[in-house]
Amino acid sequence: MTRSGRGARMALAVGDPVPDFTLVAATAESRSEWTLSKVLESGPIVLAFYPLAFTSTCTMQLCEARDRLKELEVLGARVFGFSTDTPHSNQRYAAEARLPFPLLSDPNRVVVERIWETQRVSGVDRVPKRGMMVVGADGRVKHVWITDKPGEWPGLDATLTALGS
């Protein structure tokens, strides 16, 4: 796991099984139920954890995933954003940022606190720390990058490398 800083709660580590969960997934056009175990039947996924929709670094992170989506897909992965924003907010955000992948909503923070680290950002408690997690088709964590610095985003290269290995 690559880290910049430490938090009180640890994210799942490489090799850990990811507990199954169901959340609402929003795209620019719709919202629907999304279940991890069902999605993994089609192969590995990348979860892009972002603290708050409509903020500059979050937009940079998700737009890079959008712009490099073909590279991720060539490696067999599908991308899903993950935040504690509401489904309605995530749907508007997906439309505004022209994101071609679903954004998962965990406004009650039930899932994020089981699998990821949270922090206080811009006066909002228990939002996910910025990061990336690769989950293999076997349901185990293959890669984690996480930061305590909400404005930090070094890019997708480490995630792409993890998918290629």
Catalytic residues, which ones? 58
Per the listing, tokens 């930061």 go with 147
Contact 79, 69 (CB under 8 A): yes
Residues in the chain: 165
Contact 47, 63 (CB under 8 A): no
Residues pairing with 82 in the sheet: 49, 104
CA distances from 1 to 5, 34, 122 (A): 12, 26, 26
